[in-house]
Amino acid sequence: MINMTLKDGSMRQFETSITVYEAAKQISNRLGKEALGGIVNGKAVDLSFVLTEDAHLDIVTFEHPVGVEIFRHTSAHIVAQAVKRLYPQAKLAIGPSVEKGFYYDFDVDFTFKLEDLLKIEVEIHKIISEKLPISRFELPRQEAIQFMKDKGESYKVELIEDLPLDVTISFYQQGEFVDLCAGPHLSSTGDAKAIKLLSATGAYWRGDEKRKMLQRIYGVSFPKAKMLEEHLLLLEEAKKRDHNKIGREMELFTTVDAIGQGLPLLMPKGAKIVQILQRFVEDTEEARGYLLTKTPLMAKSDLYKISGHWQLYRDGMFVIPDGDNPDDALALRPMTCPFQFMIFKAAQRSYRDLPLRYAETSTLFRNESSGEMHGLIRVRQFTISEGHLMVTPEQLENEFRGVVDLINYMMDTLGIRQDVSYQFSKWDPNNKGKYVGSAEQWETTQETMKNILDHLQLNYKEAEGEAAFYGPKLDIQFKNVHGKEDTIITVQIDFSLAERFDMTYIDSNGEKKRPIVIHRTSIGCYERTLAMLIEKYAGKFPTWLAPIQVKVLPISDKYQAYADLVVSKLKAQRIRVELDDRAEKIGYKIREAQLEKVPYMLVVGQKEEEETVVSVRSRKEGDLGTKTLEAFIEQIQYEVNNRVLNYE
RNA sequence: GCCCACGUAGCUCAGGCGGCUAGAGUGUCACCUUGGUAAGGUGGAGGUCGGCGGUUCGAGUCCGCUCGUGGGCUCCA
């Protein structure tokens, strides 16, 4: 008799040893049909895993993340099998399940074109219909290495050699195809059902750009064809919110070949939104004790040599030669820190002056590599709500909290707080050359930061090797419509640069001390934030952010004079208004205004003129009936002053 | 920087196995219509098919290079 504790806490007894699959069938018919694998005492296993003793058992289906992983991982193996059949010389690298599906990397002496993917898909469907049983076997380390050597799979050999000595080395076989894999997997290739290949791209072996570029095939898979169709439809829908598409359609920004990559132009409507955000940010920061600075956009190399940028970040900077002497070069600034540090240093500071909080709406330049630019999200010139706080060690935690509070306020005001995730970005101790400062400094700073984050009860994930070169970061991440994650806001604690810049303050004992620096942004960079807002609201911005808040639509040109009066009264109240006085019918004008995503339309005709009112139509709710202009102005001002959010 | 896909009118796109004067919708302009809550009608203008070079009797179409856009890799706000 063995006892299994199920995930709902109930207990189940089985006569003798039994496979996970049989157990699932006995628990329920449905579970037997849908089971993809199991979790036994926290460890994911195949359906064929034999239960021999008491344990916690969780049967996983496609509704469980582990089930999805098993499913997608097997899909990757099927892709690899298909590729090996069509291109026997292809060498296998790795093929994991990832958030958006799965991929498999191959070393081939050509590149996969779209038409190759189609051929591979045909072979995949063959393999699925062959219903090949998938079985697991284990080999001792040396035999495993020899086994893969014999097959000419040099990448697999490298992988095995790098495995920890105590780990069990397992393989999975389906038909003629064998792959090194920890598993678990489905029981048969027939269970993989609906696999779709999405793209072929290049990817460096082990993510190292100095090593060989392999060919990666991305795909996605589901247990039912219908689920796959729905998923593909969802991807299409998401692309309709793409800030690149909406931003260009709504004339928020554009790009021009002759100006260059990563250098978007904000058009009047986009610039208006950024201006609104910037005013809001600067006012809020001032209210919270920040001092505004305005510093140069470029500096001599001397400055960057002190900060470490010249040594560690030179590839990322635009360097401007100055005469014949390379030592006299200027560089456009990639960060504001050294400039604000110099302001700190421009006077003798006392502990009574701290904390000093500097803020600047700062334009930065970063020479991103050419394949990196993306709409407004990755650009070469951007403007960030930058700031640095110089604090004493005692003030650090409180000031850090203050920064997080400011950030939360910003995110709440924009309505995006529930859409972000927190990441604690740490250094990579195995790559010390990328950073300034000692290992001890890094470890203690990270510990300090971790404590603060824990006190703040932020639900963060840790990311090694993601720190800035001068310190660990709290990164606030958001995902774009393609599911790609980017940092929108960041806070960093820096124990290094104060030393490099010889920044000091006099403490209460009259001794010189180094301040701790908090690098932070309150709303991130305006271009990227705008991109995120476009995608968040699909262009239907809240009234306070909408570049055009009201469109006045006269029924005909007989009411032009009244329409002009309405427009001028709104303008006098600083409401952003446009007049559509084209000789078109009202239905047509409404349709256009609606497609332009203007929050309010005011229809004016004979009735309105006689009664001196306006007919209000909202983007969201349609016809709202007539109101006096004063009442409408009051309503819109309420929305603007309170920064009312809307989700449509 | 590397890999994949793409670049045709202001915008969205069709076409393309090399062959008359390159199409549509939408926008824009003119005229008619003066209207009541998501598209009224007619007509006109607008393109050296991203750029440069090559193959050819002939290139928007084929080839090479280049610029740009989108998606990945490395990197990063």
pLDDT-based confidence at residue A32 (cuts at 50, 70, 90): confident
pLDDT-based confidence at residue A326 (cuts at 50, 70, 90): low
Instruction: Please state the rounded mean pLDDT for residues A281-293.
Output: 97
How far apart, in whole angstroms, are the C-alpha atoms of residue A123 and residue A32?
Answer: 29
Residue A280: the pLDDT is 97
Residues near A164 by Cβ (< 8 Å), separated by ≥ 6?
none
How far apart, in whole angstroms, are the C-alpha atoms of residue A292 and residue A356?
Answer: 11
Residues near A10 by Cβ (< 8 Å), separated by ≥ 6?
none
What is the CA A38 to C1' B28 distance in angstroms? 63
Which residues on neighbouring strands pair with residue A324, listed in sequence order? none
Which DSSP helix (H) or strand (E) runs through A299? Answer: strand A298-300
Residue nearest to nucleotide B50 (CA to C1'): A257
Residue nearest to nucleotide B4 (CA to C1'): A201
What is the CA A397 to C1' B74 distance in angstroms? 35
Q: What nucleotide is nearest A615 when CA is compared to C1'?
A: B37
State yes or no: pLDDT of A483 exceeds 70.
yes
What interface predicted TM-score (ipTM) does this complex get? 0.90
pLDDT in tens, A394-450: 999 999 999 999 999 999 999 999 999 999 999 988 888 888 888 888 898 899 999
The first and second tokens of residue A27, run together, are 């628990």
pLDDT in tens, A40-73: 888 888 888 877 788 788 888 888 888 899 999 9
Instruction: Return the minimum-mean-pLDDT range out of A251-265, A344-358, A373-387.
Output: A251-265
Of A488, A448, A502, whose CA–CA distance to A471 is shortest? A448
In A61-109, beta strands by DSSP E: 91-92, 97-98, 101-107
Which DSSP helix (H) or strand (E) runs through A139? Answer: strand A134-139
How far apart, in whole angstroms, are the C-alpha atoms of residue A504 and residue A351?
Answer: 10
Please tell me whether the overall predicted TM-score, pTM, comes out greater than 0.80 for this model. yes
What is the CA A351 to C1' B13 distance in angstroms? 65
pLDDT in tens, A496-523: 899 999 999 999 999 999 999 999 999 9
Cβ neighbour number for residue A326 with a 10 Å cutoff: 10
The first and second tokens of residue A640, run together, are 């603007």
pLDDT in tens, A185-198: 988 888 888 899 98
Residue A294: the pLDDT is 96
What is the CA A251 to C1' B18 distance in angstroms? 39
* Chain centroid, CA A203 distance in Å: 20
CB neighbour burial string for A176-214, b if at least 16 within 10 angstroms, e if fewer: ebbbbbebbbbbbbebbbbbbbbebeebebeeeeeeeeb
Which of the given ranges, A113-122, A335-344, A438-447, A456-465, has the highest pLDDT on average? A335-344
Mean pLDDT of chain A: 90
What is the CA A259 to C1' B8 distance in angstroms? 22
Q: What nucleotide is nearest A116 when CA is compared to C1'?
A: B4
Residue nearest to nucleotide B35 (CA to C1'): A585
Q: What nucleotide is nearest A480 when CA is compared to C1'?
A: B71
How far apart, in whole angstroms, are the C-alpha atoms of residue A402 and residue A489?
Answer: 15
pLDDT in tens, A366-410: 998 888 888 899 999 999 999 999 999 999 999 999 999 999 999
Measured to protein CB atoms, the chain B nucleotides within 7 Å are: 1-7, 11-12, 27-29, 31-40, 50, 67-77
8 Å CB contact between A356 and A363:
no
What is the CA A257 to C1' B50 distance in angstroms? 9
- What percentage of chain A exceeds 90 in pLDDT? 54
Pairing state between β A356-365 and A512-513:
unpaired
What is the CA A371 to C1' B58 distance in angstroms? 38
Residue nearest to nucleotide B12 (CA to C1'): A249
Instruction: Please state the rounded mean pLDDT for residues A318-322.
Output: 85
Q: Which residue has the tokens 């700031």?
A: A387
Cβ neighbour number for residue A442 with a 10 Å cutoff: 22
